[in-house]
Amino acid sequence: MRAVLFCNLPYAFSILKPLQDELSKRGFEYLWYVPSELTSLFPYTNASKTSDMKEVEAFQSDMIFVPGNDLPWYLRGVKVQIFHGLAGEKKGHFRIRDFFDLYLTQGPYFTDRFQSLAQKHNNFTVMETGWCKLDALYSHDKKIEDKKEKLLKQSGAKKIILYAPTFSPSLTSAEKLYEVIIKLSKKEDYLVVIKFHDKMDKEIQKRYESQKSQKLLILNDGDITEALKFSDVLVSDTSSVVYEFLLLDKPVITLESNSENILWEDIKNPDDLGQKIDNIFNDVDDFKAKRGKIIELYHPFSDGKSAQRMVDAVLEYIEKFSIPKKRKISLLRKYKMIQKYGLWRW
């Protein structure tokens, strides 16, 4: 079996890596597609990769895993949508673009919606597997415990606050919370760690970077998983990372989230953030009992074996339906894919 790991943005690296490991374990061949502008950021030195779409086509894959919204329709293989986050309320999450044969969902909240869409469109299959990126979230890692201890010792703090805003101008809290985040970083007991989205406005990032100190760190690592594991509380907005953090059964505070299922502390006034964090660290956690509902709906799998289930699901699809020879794509979408990726055959 041959598989393509298809990514267009740096955040896809950490999503697809567990699949690479699972494919290698089974002795399957794999090939990363990484656009040339991202090759310098690609972290896996021994992995097989290419930026040439001709090579991807020549690879003649049996399956293509995609954590994005599109891919060239002419590539061989079961085209598998594996998603880039858990924020179903974001615009476009449930939009059907006709590129995919198989949708692998993270939990019942997503499965139910996509099953309904599958009945309507009648051109794709849905299977619930869990999300491979989260496999590492459930593994115990002594190195992360040691890193947390080191960070606290270096900063003289007692607790770590992770701030991870989304990038969308209409949803991000980065501007509104700027003064409050800087103020929090000056409190004796708190270390503030910031992780920006890859698409975050560069000018906003520069403002925060100008305030870096021993008590305010900015992470440049593309994978936020480690920070999720060593942080005590998350501050965010309408971001998928909220759900990832909740799955660890740890408290979250958001500013003006537009989620459909807010089962955490959501504030409307930025000035309330400091007191809410103080309350949490004084054992006032009003949402602990409700986090179980998010876990049940969004990602009930905690065994760290989602990548295994995902590969199994594709093999099951191939056994049942074989590898589709073509997909019905509109001329407009074909034209957009030609502009984006080039065209090697019609």
Q: Do residue 121 and residue 252 come from a single domain?
A: no
Sheet hosting strand 49-50, strand order edge to edge: 49-50, 29-33, 2-6, 63-66, 78-81, 102-105, 125-128
For residue 137, pLDDT over 70 is answered with yes
Q: Do residue 125 and residue 145 come from a single domain?
A: no
Mean pLDDT of the chain: 93
What does the pLDDT look like over 258-303, one tens digit per residue?
887 788 999 999 999 999 999 999 988 889 888 888 899 999 999 9
Interval 43-72 mean pLDDT = 95
Q: Do residue 165 and residue 291 come from a single domain?
A: yes
Residues in Cβ contact with 45 at an 8 Å cutoff, skipping those fewer than 6 apart: none
Q: Do residue 292 and residue 188 come from a single domain?
A: yes
**Where does the pLDDT of residue 90 fall: very low under 50, low under 70, confident under 90, or very high at 90 and above?**
low
Instruction: Give pTM, 2 decimals.
Output: 0.80
Is residue 251 one of the residues assigned to a domain?
yes
Q: Do residue 129 and residue 154 come from a single domain?
A: no
Q: Do residue 254 and residue 106 come from a single domain?
A: no
The CA distance from 346 to 344, in Å, is 7
User: Between β-strands 29-33 and 252-255, what pairing exists: parallel, antiparallel or unpaired?
Assistant: unpaired
Is residue 346 one of the residues assigned to a domain?
no
Q: Do residue 289 and residue 329 come from a single domain?
A: no
Range of the domain at 86: 2-135+304-341
For residue 320, pLDDT over 80 is answered with yes
Instruction: Please compute, for residue 213, the number of CA atoms within 13 A of its CA located in the half-sphere on the CB side.
Output: 17
Name the one residue in this structure whose structure tokens are 């690592």.
221
For residue 346, pLDDT over 60 is answered with no
User: CATH number of the domain that 183 lies in?
Assistant: 3.40.50.12580
For residue 157, pLDDT over 90 is answered with yes
Please give the share of the chain, as a percent, with pLDDT higher than 70: 97
Residues in Cβ contact with 115 at an 8 Å cutoff, skipping those fewer than 6 apart: 126
Q: Do residue 86 and residue 199 come from a single domain?
A: no
The structural domain count of the chain equals 2
Is residue 123 one of the residues assigned to a domain?
yes
Contact 184, 192 (CB under 8 A): yes
User: CATH number of the domain that 22 lies in?
Assistant: 3.40.50.11820
Q: Do residue 290 and residue 178 come from a single domain?
A: yes
| Amino acid in position 292 | G
Q: Do residue 279 and residue 238 come from a single domain?
A: yes
What does the pLDDT look like over 180-233, one tens digit per residue?
999 999 999 999 999 998 889 999 999 999 999 999 999 987 678 899 999 999
| Partners of 235 in the β-ladder | 163, 253
Is residue 70 one of the residues assigned to a domain?
yes
